[in-house]
Every structure is written in C-alpha cells, then in structure tokens.
A and B are shown apart, each in its own frame.
Chain A
C-alpha cells in the first residue's frame, strides 16, 4: 500500500506528531509525505530526512499558507489517485482536513487509531477511551488519523526522500484566514512533553494556578496542563486542556494537582506511564488510576514539593 502522510508543521519545522504518523503509515506500506504551505522548502528538506520516507510531495502556494481545509482537501484528493491511504496525525489540522478528504473520496475515515492490526484493520478508542474497538474498513482507499501517543516517533535522520513539487489546486474562495492568537509558551509542548504537571479546579484562581503549578513544572522541566474545569474557570488557557475534548497526552510522568479525575479528563491522560495525584479528597476517582497518590492540601504540598526537588 502506498500511503500519503500529512506533514504537520508550523512553517519552520516538522512537528513530532508527523513522526508518529509516519510510524503508523510504515506499517501499511510505502510512505510518501505531503508538505503543504507557503515557503516550506526548509520543512520539505527536513521531512525528506525522516527515516523510511519515499517521495516528499511539496505543494507551495499562498492558497495553502494556513492549511485551510477547503483549499487543501482537493489537492489531497488529486494525490490520492496514486495513493492507497491518506494518514494524518490527530492534530487540529489533521482532524479538520482528513474527514473532508474522506467524504470527497466517498470513504469512511478511521479516526484516532491506536494500532494497525493489518492493512484494513485498526484499533481505536471510543466512549472517551472507556472501550477499544477493532474496526475493519471495506473501503478501497483508506483515510486514517493517528493518535500520536500510541506510536513511536520515526527517526528524524537517515532518510533520503525525493522531493517533488506538486501543482497547486488553487484557492477555492470559500474561506480566508483572518488571524490567529497562538499562546506563547516557553515550556515543552504538551503532546510531546516527557513530564506534565496539570492543575484542576482546586487551584481556585488563575494567580494561584500559576503560583503553584508553574514553579513545580519548571523544577521538573515539565509541560503544564489543566483540567476542563480549570480552563473553563479561566485559570489556564484553552490549549492547556487535557482530556477527551482537549489534548491526549501520554508522558512518562503525569502529575495531577487538584484534579478529581472525571472520565473526560482521564480519557486524555490515562496512558501516561506513571500518574501521580495530589488531592485532598482521598475518594477522588483520580486515585483509582494513580500510581502514586498523596492525600492533602495542595497549597501546602506543592510549595513544599517544589522546594525539596
């Protein structure tokens, strides 16, 4: 099977999510990459070095600058004439674009796969990760999104993909990019951080969230996450949210501070290697999944812990 993998990038560098998608795609067969954007020569060169990659299709056009699904999907549909599968990481771009491609190809997408069982059979989580379904696709072409945390990252060196320019399919005139507000974050990116410190509603205010969580995260070199309750209350920005509707993470260590552990939150972090929970309620559901639990007042525990590290 010849697969086409969506390269997730920020215009400068290939994002880690791509590397996991490449690993999943390599289990299907020959891996080709698709780099879409404006002024993406550097990204394409970097993508070509990913181990195991064949051709790197590059579509460089102003119409693709912000990866608008309306403009990008027709390009992918055209390339799918010579590919058997389209694989995208489950990033917001991947989730935005892939189903549009699937509909145009008249196939059902397989979302957020956890494993490749065979060329047409995959496992995926349903019901906020409370069940794992094994599904078989009867469609001739496959459209798949990949859960990054479920696949190892392909090596970023050693490959020698051949770069090939693809003609633009143009601006479809349905949508325009009007602007973005990307949160500045010096810390490791959540979905690739080895350690994550996450805060919940118990932090009680934005000031206390930052006063408690940030120093601990800095001591551990960790990314900072939050529960939906903390985000909804305005203690942390939206893109910090870990859970069914936020980011799915699986770091080496996940420290849940003042998070009760609702199923929607667990859906986003229960595949972490080690879960540490700090909560004053010893019956909080988070303790049912925590490897190490400490019952007590986070406002005493967290500063003490930070000081002792």
Chain B
C-alpha cells in the first residue's frame, strides 16, 4: 500500500507574523520557516501505518526551491522518497490540488494524507479539493485512522464532538491536531535522508496552469485592542462585572 503525503513550508508557528508596511503581505524575509504542523501529523500518521500494510511513503511539496528542506525533514522522519514541484510564485489550493491530482494519477497511491489547513493562509481547502477532483472519499479533520480491508475508518473532529465515517479506498484524509504526536527526526536519520531520492518538477510538467484566481489587493494588521486595566482584587473585578451588567 502506497501513501502520498503533501507537505507545505510555512512560517514557523511560534513566530509572530509581521505585516509589511506597504500592505503587500506578511514579511517572510529572514524568518524561521518550518513544516506546517498539520503536515507533520500527516507524515507521522503515514509512518505509523507502515506496520499496518503501508509499504511506501512519498512526500510532495509545491513551492519555492527551499521547500526541499521541508521534504528532507519528512524524509528524515521516515518517508521513502520525495517530489518537489518548484514554483517561485505562490500556488493556490486549487492549483495545488490539480498538481496533486496529476501526481496521484502517476503514483497511484491508496491513500493521500494532508494536513487539515496550512497555518499561513488558513484556507482548509486542499484536501477536499483533491478529493473532489479525483472523485474519492474524504475523511477531513481526522483524529483517528484505521485501515480495514479495502476501506478506512476515519474518526473526525466535528462541531459538538466526533463522527466516524467509513471510506472506500483509495481515499483522502486530512489531519487534525489530535491524530498523533509527530516524532523528531534523529541525527542518523537526518543524515540518511540526504541520500533518499528527490525528484524535481514544475507545474508545467503536469500541464497545470497555476495562475491565481484570487488577487490579494492588500494585507493589513488587524485592529489593535486598546490597552486594558488591571484590577487589584476579586471585589474590584466583581464591581467591573456589575458595571457591565454581566453580574447582578
């Protein structure tokens, strides 16, 4: 059984984003970039499925040349080989899904595991779009994945609780935070990852037009909250709550 795991290079989740003064976007010059946290969970899940019949894990990243660092991280975690689709311009989820659909046609995986959203664009679209394009079942926001014979049971985090769906294989899964705890790559594995194969492609190789459909007109900082006050004790807090009409 083959699993495909798309990963994205994003601004590290601990870094506070700075909006550029000219309003064109968020400043990504000289800031720490990492693998999108949900994608780490996706890679981890694929590795964990290795003792349940998964024989090969292929990781894919679409983006600038530096995305190969992200792919090396995935290889160091335990993926077998990587495909880098180089595009120096940003590719939207629809474009990413179309490229991934082509890669799926070539690679014929039984399962594609993606993160539920990237923490930069916060779109939460790519997995669903890929499932739509392929006509496959989708198990989004997964907190538990169980491979059965010809199908996969996916427990999903939904509003109000959890829901389990059974999907016919091949299928798409997107990971939620609680699916697993991703491992750290050990130094020997980081060294070993350097010699694992990494193919390089471009969107044009797949005949996919990645011209953006959305134009970002401007990016601004959200309205700042005005500075608050600190109260000395519970009585003062109760007084404030009463003033606001929250407490009687």
Binding site for B on A (CB under 8 A): 66, 68-70, 73, 91-93, 95-104, 106-112, 121, 125-139, 173-183, 185, 191, 195, 219-220, 228, 231-232, 237-239, 244-245, 247, 252-253, 263-264, 270, 274-276, 282, 287, 289-295, 301, 304-305, 308-309
Contacts and interface: CB of A to CB of B under 8 A. Distances in A.
Contacts of B139: 175
B225 A270 contact: yes
Contact of A136 (B92, B120, B217, B234): B217
Given A92-B157, A99-B128, A180 B164 contact: yes
A127 B119 contact: yes
Given A103-B129, A104-B132, A264-B13, A309 B162 contact: no
Given A136-B215, A293-B230, A92 B129 contact: no
Contacts of A69: 128, 131, 138, 140
Contacts of A93: 158-159
B70 interface: no
Contact of B166 (A132, A175, A253, A292): A175
Contact of B244 (A110, A131, A263, A274): A274
Interface in B180-226: 212-222, 225
Given A134-B216, A135-B217, A291-B229, A308 B235 contact: yes
Contact of B124 (A95, A179, A275, A287): A95
Nearest to A252: B246
Given A109-B125, A174-B167, 19 more contacts: A96-B138, A97-B128, A103-B129, A103-B130, A103-B133, A104-B132, A107-B94, A108-B94, A127-B26, A133-B216, A133-B219, A135-B216, A136-B214, A177-B165, A181-B163, A252-B246, A263-B16, A295-B230, A308-B235
A180 B161 contact: yes
A292 B160 contact: no
B32 interface: no
Contacts of B6: none
18 contacts: A69-B138, A97-B128, A103-B133, A127-B17, A128-B17, A130-B221, A131-B19, A133-B219, A175-B171, A178-B166, A220-B246, A237-B161, A238-B143, A247-B159, A253-B244, A294-B230, A294-B231, A308-B238
Contacts of A231: 178
Contacts of B225: 270, 275, 289, 291
Given A293-B231, A294-B230, A99 B159 contact: no
Contacts of A127: 11, 17, 26, 119-120, 122
Contact of B94 (A102, A264, A289, A291): A102
A253 B217 CA distance: 33
A183 B229 CA distance: 36
Contacts of A294: 230-231, 233-234, 236-237
A204 B167 CA distance: 38
B241 interface: yes
Contacts of A195: 246
A239 B158 CA distance: 8
A249 B21 CA distance: 29
- Interface SS, A side: mixed
Interface string B108-143: 000000001101111111111111110111111101
A127 B27 CA distance: 11
B176 interface: yes
A28 to B, nearest CB: 16
Contacts of A228: 177
Contacts of B163: 66, 177, 179-181
B234 A301 contact: yes
Nearest to B131: A100
Contacts of A139: 213
Contacts of B19: 130-131
Contact of A292 (B117, B132, B228): B228
B97 interface: yes
Contacts of A134: 216-220
B247 A309 contact: yes
Nearest to A282: B230
A69 B140 CA distance: 10
Contact of B93 (A108, A220, A232, A274): A108
Q: What 6 A-B pairs come out closest when comparing CB atoms?
A: A99-B128, A103-B132, A103-B129, A108-B213, A174-B137, A99-B125
A268 to B, nearest CB: 12
A92 B11 CA distance: 25
A276 B237 contact: yes
A182 B121 CA distance: 30
Q: Which of A127, A128, A129 has the most CB of B within 10 A?
A: A127
Given A138-B214, A232-B178, A132 B160 contact: no
Given A135-B215, A136-B214, A239-B157, A128 B122 contact: yes
B52 interface: no
A107 B95 CA distance: 10
B237 A111 contact: no
Contacts of A253: 241, 244, 246
Contact of B140 (A95, A293, A308): A95
